[in-house]
Structure 1
Amino acid sequence: MSLTSPIRHPDTRQPELMSRRGWWLVGLNVLLPGSAQILAGNRRLGRFALGATLILWATMALAAVLFFLNRGFALSLITNVWVLWLLQAALLFYAVLWLSTTLNALVLVRLVKTPGRTRAGLLAFTAVTLAVSVGGTSYAAYLTGVGRDTLGSVFAGGGYVAPIDGRYTVLLLGGDAGPDRLGLRPDSITLASIDADSGAVTMIGIPRNLYNAPFPADSPLASEWPNGYDCGDDCLISYIYPWAEERPELYPEAELAGSTPGIEATRDAVEGVTGLEVQFVVLIDLGGFQSLIDAMGGVVVDAEPMQLGINGGPVVGEIVAGEQRMDGGTALWYARNRYNLTDFDRMAHQRQIQEAMLRQFDPLTVFTRFEAIAEASTQTVRTDLPQSMIGVLADLAVKSRELPITDVELVPPTVDNVNPDYGMVREMVAAAVAPPSDE
């Protein structure tokens, strides 16, 4: 009698043999789907399932090696819409495969011939393995679809974009369209300059009450405002957005490019102020900012003490000093509160929240809270950043978490926001983003 005979042709009159055989078949099926069929069932099905399992292991090993050797390329690959379609199909295929091989292995066990206690244990073990393998894989397929849809709805099309002078520039706008305002106005304006090699980030904070913003010569606003945005108190840099929204003829291609006249006008103003070309814009609706923070599980901030309220109104709460985890509502209050505070104080608090999010938006947070973050991002974020650039910038974001963030605040006393010296401002910015010397 061959060694495999007790597995393929067992003596069903021996309870101990049937018990051991049952556990072997079910256990092997968990470790190597298809092995139970090769030993005791349909060998053709077993070879197919085992081959598919080995292909999966090889693919996972290759992906791990690729991620280790070239993380940026691996992240670009996994955020490609066609790769995500393929991944979702593969996950569903393996869910069906593992379901069929597990149930078939249970049939091969011949439960009615096993002792009662063994039978109950095998059924319970199989239920758990099905929940973990098939349930987990099916849920992963669902999340893959959510991720693909989110990337498609939030990010723009287009190919690879090369850095300019070794850096990427991303304009971060916090949009505020409250009930007391006519249209949206950027409440927070920050230009992030990112070193394309090291991931080092320089955050350039631009006060929303900056006067006389100049425009590049090729901007349609340069002819409208040849001396800069210079109509006094009605011409703060944050007012450019609604002003341009009412004049869409200035940027006729904006909507087709997935942008708006207000975004493009603000981009031009920031380029004129800083002397840097803005490659990408990310507009975050502050109305949905709270849900994004909550989706992340909150942010840890070393807070300054403050009373909460509206100037001229009653105090409605307070934030105590010290490190604390803020939920979305508290973080929004901290970033926007102006009770007995200046706009420049608010800028500093907004920068704290931005940097806290950058530090804490790590792969583990994204993985464990992916669905909530995806839903909040879809409702909150608008950007012209191409989907093909997600991997590149995500890799740089991981690198940046190990480096200090350089802050350049264009605020008094260094910069007079009412009568700014834009030549000096551009020199400050150029010095801050200049590559480090070799000395």
Structure 2
Amino acid sequence: MTSASSPIRHPNVGSERVMTKRAWWLVLLNFVLPGSVQVLAGSHRLGRFGLRATFTLLFLAVAAGVVYLLWPEVILTALTNTIGLWVAAALLAFYAVVWFILTVDTLRLTRLVRAGPKARPLIAGFATVLMVGVVGTAGYGAYVATTASDFLSSVFVAGPTEPPVDGRYNIMLLGGDAGPDRDGLRPDSISVVSIDAESGQASMIGLPRNLEDVPFSPGPLADLYPEGYGAIDGCEVDACMLNSIYTEVELKSPEMYPKAIAEGSEPGIEGMRDAAQGVTGLTIQYYVLIDMQGFAQLVDALGGVEITVDHRVPVHTDDTFTEVLFWFEPGRQHMDGYHALWYARSRHGTSDYDRMVRQRQMQEAILAQASPANVLTKFQAVAKAGSQVVKTDIPQGMLGYFVNLASKTKALPIKSVELIPDNNVDPEDPDYGVIRDLIATSLAPPPSETPAP
């Protein structure tokens, strides 16, 4: 307890030196244990409220930390859920207001007029810096939480979750290229990411966009093209290749998939899903469509991307892919969105297989470099770009699980399944039995991990 002569409770009894020291201590106490200053030197009622708020926050932080260590998906699910994010935003806004009030009251209680003249601006400045740091951090956290809620609601659907199949989640990635010279969107990049639901080990399967006679999993397209896409009497578009399926279904036969839009997808995407399932033999639970025209915005929002260029790659003067503007030279390079997009799309003097490798390289680099710290510091730009670039049917309720799984994936090398001529894959005359065997062999666990019979 403070005595009647204590300068903490009774500041009028202290000398200038004592009052200066008292002011420093009060400012530090307010930072370390908000509410304690008021209990010692001011309004006991305000102090008790501040201490209760402080200890409640500490309890919640410790409890969240323990739960995260034991069941990380619980915390990640709460932080990727609209309700959870708004609750977090409300709490952070509440504590920002509480800390502001307590700090202003602490400055009043310091009685700066009785401190040393030289110390007064230092004490006031230090208290202000601490207040701006703490209140500003809480306010920014509330802003990020509300922005994240809006972003997640605009990108991810509210739908049922899908279980893993054979212990794996398979996600179709489409890079959509809706150029001005094209009738509708045409997937320029097609791949399937297969992720082990326990270990997080990911395999990237690149599907050549010019695959012919594409088989389909059971559904309307399999009924229409029982021998493969365009194998008998052609198809409804100019070229009967894998990346034409989206255009045909979306523009010519959207009635094939009447429930697509209501389920957060599109008829063309569902046609591509049936094709990717038919080619790979895998059940594809979800898709992610990336608008390549907006891809550059996302890379710029992340601050660029680091890429190791293995061979010279040209950048063209226009979309005709003929005249070369300049070349990417071999070596480690930092690319902004414009250059990253050209690096992934470049065609002049390269094959589709070269482009597949570069696109996969770009996807892996973005995944590796999109750290939580990087995303948080640039969150507004990333969210704005992401909501314009990404479309998916991954339900918001699965985000916590996938974020946790992604942390395991980033710690492991990503495997690649190459559907190229060197692996007996001829896109003009493909053997889909060979393709499925190649994929099954690549996804099979190593002998040491294979369960004993």
1:315–1:135 distance in 2 versus 1, CA, 3 Å: same
Aligned alpha-carbon RMSD (Å): 1.7
Shift of 1:181: 0.8
2:278 equivalent to 1:269: no
Greater Cα shift, 76-85 or 231-240: 231-240
Length-normalised TM-score, structure 2 = 0.93
Q: Kindly, what percent of the aligned residue pairs are identical?
A: 47
Tell me the amino acid that sits aligned with residue 239 of structure 1: S
The C-alpha deviation readout for 1:170-208, integer Å capped at 9, x for no partner, is 100000001111110000001000001111011110011
Distance 1:91 1:103 in 2: 18
Q: How does 1:224-263 map to 2 (within 5 A)?
A: 224-230=224-230, 231=234, 234-246=239-251, 247-263=253-269
- SS state at 1:6 partner: coil
The C-alpha deviation readout for 1:339-388, integer Å capped at 9, x for no partner, is 11111111111111111112222222222222221111111000000111
What's 2:74 paired with?
A: 73
Distance 1:203 1:307 in 2: 25
Greater Cα shift, 269-278 or 18-27: 18-27
Shift of 1:17: 2.2
Distance 2:108 2:74 in 1: 44
Length-normalised TM-score, structure 1 = 0.96
What's 1:317 paired with?
A: 326
- SS state at 1:161 partner: coil
The C-alpha deviation readout for 1:109-152, integer Å capped at 9, x for no partner, is 22233332222122211221121011121111111111111111
Shift of 1:312: 6.8
The C-alpha deviation readout for 1:279-328, integer Å capped at 9, x for no partner, is 00000000110111111222211112122226673211110001222111
Distance 1:119 1:299 in 2: 47
Distance 1:312 1:277 in 2: 36
Structure 2 unaligned regions, length at least 5: none
Preserved CA contact (<8 Å) 1:11 1:17: no
Preserved CA contact (<8 Å) 2:7 2:13: no
Tell me the amino acid that sits aligned with residue 192 of structure 2: L
What's 1:370 paired with?
A: 379
Distance 2:73 2:95 in 1: 27
1:257–1:27 distance in 2 versus 1, CA, 3 Å: same
Preserved CA contact (<8 Å) 2:2 2:8: no
Shift of 1:271: 0.5
Greater Cα shift, 338-347 or 158-167: 158-167
2:346 equivalent to 1:337: yes
Distance 2:180 2:2 in 1: 82
Structure 1 unaligned regions, length at least 5: none
- SS state at 1:403 partner: coil
Distance 2:247 2:161 in 1: 31
Distance 1:270 1:346 in 2: 19
Greater Cα shift, 181-190 or 226-235: 226-235
- SS state at 1:129 partner: helix
The correspondence for 2:284, drawn from 268, 278, 283, is: 278
Tell me the amino acid that sits aligned with residue 95 of structure 2: Y
What is the number of residues matched between the two proteins? Answer: 438
What's 2:441 paired with?
A: 431
What's 2:427 paired with?
A: 417
1:312–1:275 distance in 2 versus 1, CA, 3 Å: closer
- SS state at 1:44 partner: helix
Tell me the amino acid that sits aligned with residue 196 of structure 1: A
What's 1:221 paired with?
A: 221
